[in-house]
Amino acid sequence: MAPVLEIRDLQVGVDTGREVLSVLDGISLSLEPGRTIGIVGESGCGKSMTALATMGLLPDRFAITGGQILFEGEDLASMPDRQRRRLRGNALSMIFQEPMTALNPVLTVGRQIGEVLELHQGLSGHEARQRALDMLRAVQIPAPERRLDNYPHELSGGMRQRVMIAIALACRPKLIIADEPTTALDVTVQAQIFRLLRELQGETDTAIMLITHDLGAVAEMADDVAVFYAGKCIETGPVAQILQHPSHPYTQGLMVCTPTMRLGAAALAESPPALGEIAGIVPPVGRFPKACRFAPRCPLADDRCRTEDPPLRALGAAHAALCWKAEEEAFA
Amino acid sequence: MSPAEATRRSSVAPAVPARPDAPAPERPEAAPPAEARAAPPAAPPEAPADTPRPSNPAKEFVQVFLRNGTAVIGFVLLVLIAVMTFAGPAIYPVDPYTMVDLPFAEPFGPYAPLGTDYLGRDILAGIIEGGRATLTVGVTAAVLSVVIGILVGALAGYFGGWMDRSLMKVTEFFQILPALMLAMVLVTIFTASLTTITLAIGIVAWPQVARLARAEVMRIRKMDYVAAATTAGARDAYLIFRVILPGAMPPLVVAAGLAVGTAILFEAGLSFLGLGDPNTMSWGLIIGQNRNYLLDAWWTVTFPGLAIFLTVLGISLVGDGINDALNPKLRRR
Amino acid sequence: MTETLLSVEDLKVHFPLASGDVVHAVDGVTFDVARGACFGIVGESGSGKSTVARALMRLEDPTEGRITLGTDEISSLSGDRLRALRHRFQMIFQDPYSSLNPRLRAGQAVREPLDLMGLDIKGGREQWVRQCFADVGLHPDSTRLFPHQFSGGQRQRLSIARALATQPSLIVCDEPVSALDVAIQAQILNLLRRIQREKFLTFVFISHDLAVVQNICTEVAVMYLGEFVERAPTGQLYAAAKHPYTWSLMAAALTPENSRRAGERFTITGEPPSPIDPPKGCRFAGRCPFATDTCVAEKPAIRDFGGGHTVACHYAGELTPPLEELAA
């Protein structure tokens, strides 16, 4: 199947006034209709920048300096703004982390959903309102007729996120970029939102790019995973493969860092062991180490890792890692 | 956990003892990207020599301020005005109260560079002499209003409840009174001396500062570091004056600067209306005494007016500069 | 051995609103914490767990109930008498960016409690501050830096150093790792575990994350709308939880190793009701798939299931957990 989104060797830089620092370096991803890719990594690794570059919403002084972002075969990176605006909110939409700040506080929920429809699909006010109501029903908001005339502050966090999803889905987009969509929500509500997203995805065949720091959310939602570290994509592959056999030491580190809940008999065993750690922190933009960027924090790093760029090693169908050691690990 | 998993777990980072990761230097020159801000920069672990020097807030403030062109212009303007006012009599020793030429001598004449007023007194000497009173009244009244305003605002914002309600009622009472009118009444009832004028201006100008201080104190009061200081055993006074107010200062410093400008304008306004202290030369007094001859002798009013204008302009430029120089620290998180 | 350090009896914290309504943030919570134990409180936002933490720290005034630390009842003290005891209980806050005064250098921040409470330390305060820095893995030479010169993880270490400075016996941790990235979260959790054991500290650990709580706590209470619905030693709770709300939290927790997806798992609907006007009967009844008329009408009593396992549910022990690990 033709991918909805294909990112090829994307480069993003930030202009500090003195020099242009690399923020994203050689990101390549591909996403097919109806599938979900999870992008994971710590803050400062470039996850959100990838999303913003795709949406054409890079902050001031950030710019795409190379590569292509092909959306249904058309390059978003070189597309004129006007054309991109037509796609945005229509075929391409985004769900933000904090629904309270992403929604307009002075417009009713119905108006905000309707607005997108009027803008992109030329619906009349009445039709738009009807569709807005349908959307609220689709995102399972109780008593949608009443909610249509509510303002965002009159809704709970979970409901606001549902409204955000209704707006994002209103025009039946081909691709949704969800940037930490449930981070601000409670776990029980998070489970509801993920379930809803999957159901709606099943109906509309929308592709989802899920940006998250939470490997649990990836396990829950994603078909494929891309792990980001310091502006590079260091491991990609199918979700089961990555979570069960992570090959890059960083991915492995993330796995052992994440506390896991043990239920049933396992919980009565001895007290849980100390968590694994990845020493140090993500280097800031402009101070990425040469050669392998993870080498300074990597327990396996040797001289080669610090002097030569690591190769992208194929480790099976669609599974690849940017690491000198990945193969040894995989076959060890 | 499967045995395979167990081996993999143990092979990776087996609970490395926490290392003192080298603290991160701030790089103000490079605006960190949105994400990098979330995970603040750190020196790469392989370069421990890169330990940052403790930053010096005063020095940073001066650096940022000096990079701001208009603020520096404003600052230079204020310095010149201050020098002129306080060192002026030594450089230009002309008595502002004696006749030096015919009344209404035009500027650039042989005796008076900026002309003379209706009594033939030297305008330049008047401006130099009057600046002292004007600036003193302006600064003193501003300090007075800022002190009252911060005290009232801080108490209201910190304690809340009935304290807040009653103090804000008082503040509102002062705010709805027409300020100039109140000052006029005060000056009329008590004699028109510089002290009375200063007090009158201070008393009418504080409510704005109080409202601002209250809002800032209420905002900062909710911050966790104030709770942290409480759990560290801080008393109310320590919390208000050592923990909360320093954080509330940036907008208050700017407000204080603007209050000086307002006070100077007030003083000029009162003098213009003939309510100034007739025995003390001030910029407002010069304008007030000559206002009837504006059409015949423009210079009598224009030059002191220009002095007021430049002073207030200088103050507001510097105020903006201070605001900008203090703000990045707040935005830096 | 099991000397009780902290005892909380029927704690209530109500906030009156300007409208005349009352927010029942904490509505009758009772628990004891033994010296050296780590008592976890889990719940969703709005459950009142952070208010419990702030009430323990006397940052909020309890409306009713008693908090006893050792032999001192701290809920009824105020002013200087409260301040004189504050060195014995300290707090670690959630957000390391807002819990440190941006105008104090790191060393001053750690020293501040000592200066304010006039605590003298053998060897001098300055030396002690450096020792605290070393204890939490910060370089002692970084005392002259300002908070903004540290990374998020280091700031949280600094907060911990500050909490340790007065050598407290109780530390209340309010979501101490939720604002941190996974890798940093693991570093801080391990640090907290280490210092708790080394210094024989007692923790009250507030979190929304069941996995984190299991990792560090010895006893856990599940809080919902101002009340504890279930409380048990950690192993017992995760092995045999009995309250449907606990099940829903467990089912909703996502772990990388869990391959079963939301559609196939137990989920509850809706969101917690308002704490302004909490339901009369069981507060969870409105969202509980097992609820009956009894649940809506009658408030369930807290029943003891032995071994310190208490549950507030009419049908506790009778229901089959919808999680296969628990059912086994």
Contacts of C113 in chain B (CB under 8 A): 231-233
Is A15 inside any structural domain? yes
Residue A188 has its nearest CB partner, among C182, C249, C256, at C249
Is A232 inside any structural domain? no
Beta strand A232-238 with A74-75: parallel, antiparallel or unpaired?
unpaired
pLDDT given for residue B35 in this prediction: 35
8 A C-beta contact, residue B122 and residue B112: yes
In sign, the C-alpha dihedral spanning C118, C205, C207, C47 is: negative
Which DSSP category does B90 fall into?
H
Domain that holds residue C310: 241-328
Cα separation, C161 vs A64, whole angstroms: 43
Domains for chain B: give ranges and CATH numbers.
59-331 (1.10.3720.10)
Contacts of B247 in chain C (CB under 8 A): 101-103
Angle between the N-to-C axes of helices B245-272 and B194-221, in degrees from 0 to 180, rounded to the nearest 10: 150
Residue A285 has its nearest CB partner, among B15, B33, B44, at B33
Is C259 inside any structural domain? yes
Domain that holds residue A207: 5-222
Structure-block tokens of residue C158: 């600094």
- Which amino acid does the sequence have at B182? L
Beta strand C202-207 with C38-42: parallel, antiparallel or unpaired?
parallel
Residue C188: its H or E element: helix C182-198
Q: What's the number of domains chain C is made of?
A: 1
Is A56 inside any structural domain? yes
CA angle A7, A13, A14 (to 5 degrees): 140
Residue B18 has its nearest CB partner, among C94, C141, C191, at C191
In C186-215, the residues whose Cβ lies within 8 Å of chain A are: 186-187, 189-190, 193-194, 208-212, 214-215
What is the ipTM for the molecules in this complex? 0.89
Q: Are residues A196 and A254 in the same domain?
A: no
The model's pLDDT over B15-74, given as tens digits with 9 standing for 90+, comes to: 333 333 434 433 333 333 333 333 333 333 333 334 677 778 888 888 888 888 889 999
Average pLDDT, chain C: 91
Short-list C157, C160, C161, C184, CA closest to C173: C160
Is A239 inside any structural domain? no
A284:B16 CB<8 A: no
C256:A255 CB<8 A: yes
Short-list A157, A146, A160, A97, CA closest to C272: A157
Q: Are residues A253 and A210 in the same domain?
A: no
Q: Are residues A9 and A142 in the same domain?
A: yes
- The CA-to-CA distance between both ends of chain A, in Å, stands at 35
A187:C271 CB<8 A: no
Cα separation, A202 vs A195, whole angstroms: 11
Q: Which chains would you list as touching B if contact means 3+ CB atom pairs under 8 Å?
A: A, C
Is C85 inside any structural domain? no
The model's pLDDT over C198-207, given as tens digits with 9 standing for 90+, comes to: 999 999 999 9
Is C301 inside any structural domain? yes
Instruction: Looking at the complex, report in whole angstroms how far the Cα of residue B320 sits from the nearest Cα belonging to chain A.
Output: 24
Structure-block tokens of residue B117: 């007023």
φ and ψ at residue C156, rounded to 5 degrees: -70, -35
Q: Which chains would you list as touching C if contact means 3+ CB atom pairs under 8 Å?
A: A, B
Is C320 inside any structural domain? yes
B225:C99 CB<8 A: yes
A188:C214 CB<8 A: no
Is C298 inside any structural domain? yes
Is C202 inside any structural domain? no
The model's pLDDT over A20-50, given as tens digits with 9 standing for 90+, comes to: 999 999 999 999 999 999 999 988 899 999 9
Is A307 inside any structural domain? yes
Regions of chain A short of the pLDDT cut 50: 330-332
Contacts of C57 in chain B (CB under 8 A): 227, 231
Instruction: Looking at the complex, report in whole angstroms how far the Cα of residue A112 sits from the nearest Cα belonging to chain B.
Output: 26
Is A229 inside any structural domain? no
φ and ψ at residue C84, rounded to 5 degrees: -65, -20
Q: Which chain C residue's Cα is nearest to B245?
A: C103
Is C297 inside any structural domain? yes
Contacts of B46 in chain A (CB under 8 A): 289, 296
The model's pLDDT over B205-259, given as tens digits with 9 standing for 90+, comes to: 899 899 999 999 999 999 999 999 999 999 999 999 999 998 888 888 888 888 8
Residue B21: its H or E element: none
Residue C220: its H or E element: strand C219-224
Q: What's the number of domains chain A is made of?
A: 2
CA angle B123, B127, B129 (to 5 degrees): 115
Is C328 inside any structural domain? yes
The per-residue DSSP string of C66-112 comes to EEEETTEE-SS--HHHHHTTGGGEEEE-S-TTTSS-TTS-HHHHHHH
pLDDT given for residue B288 in this prediction: 84
Instruction: Looking at the complex, report in whole angstroms how far the Cα of residue B15 sits from the nearest Cα belonging to chain A.
Output: 5
- The CATH number of whichever domain residue A203 belongs to comes to 3.40.50.300
Report how many Cβ contacts below 8 Å link chain A to chain B: 95
8 A C-beta contact, residue B55 and residue B26: yes
Paired with C31 in beta bridges are: C8
Short-list A5, A99, A16, CA closest to A53: A5
Short-list B259, B117, B127, B285, CA closest to B193: B285
Is A238 inside any structural domain? no
Cα separation, A71 vs A77, whole angstroms: 10
Short-list A3, A48, A9, A8, CA closest to A285: A48
Percent of chain A with pLDDT strictly greater than 70: 98
8 A C-beta contact, residue B197 and residue B277: yes
